[in-house]
Amino acid sequence: MEDKITAIKQWLDTGSINIFGLPMSGKDTQGIRLAEALGAKFLSSGMIIRAMESETKQNLTGTGNLIPTNVFYEWVLPYFERRDLFNYPLVLSSIGRWQGEENQVMSVASGAGHEIKAVIILNVSEADVEERFKTAQTLQDRGERQDDKDIQVFRNRLQEFRTKTLPVIQHYQSLGLLIEVKGDQSREAVFNEIIDKLYLKATA
């Protein structure tokens, strides 16, 4: 494992890995762990947006919709150019979810020295993530996230993924950047598959 992580670090340098998946697919969980393993900084579009909503006293995502593209550009993209991230690789959680945003994300990331070198999709069925949603509600382990408290809002998020984010993932696939990972395994098995497939890409 350590040899594989070392090879991935050398290949990645200060580049970026962007992780996508349905809500409740484990993007942030795996992204944080991957960032720790690679000595990278972790950026989650969801975390950034929720912080900005709180700061500006706006509620743009309360119904499960993605934020407008112009707001995404204003709130999220400047993070790529932060000086405290300059010499680090980045692990991203769903940065650029709306079709068309991926081109601007790739451009800004590359310009800031964080070229996107791989895009991971955690494949989990809608039935499985809805079951995870219900379990999370029972356990009350998602904090105060309003978008995780209402099943209709959650289902709207699934619809947004289908219509707006799947084309983004397909575009990355056409560029040869996509890595598909089975997200319905144990957390450990998902992480191991991510490392194995990144290693194959790093050493291809």
pLDDT grade, residue 136 (50/70/90)?
confident
- The percent of residues in the chain predicted with pLDDT above 90, rounded, is 86
The total of structural domains in the chain comes to: 1
For residue 178, the domain's CATH number is: 3.40.50.300
Average pLDDT over every residue of 152-171: 95
> Mean pLDDT throughout 53-81?
93
Residue-wise DSSP of 19-58: EEESTTSSHHHHHHHHHHHHTPEEEEHHHHHHHHHHHHT-
Given a contact cutoff of 8 angstroms between Cβ atoms, the answer to whether 129 and 158 are in contact is: yes
pTM: 0.92
What's the confidence (pLDDT) of residue 138?
74
Domain enclosing residue 155, as ranges: 2-202
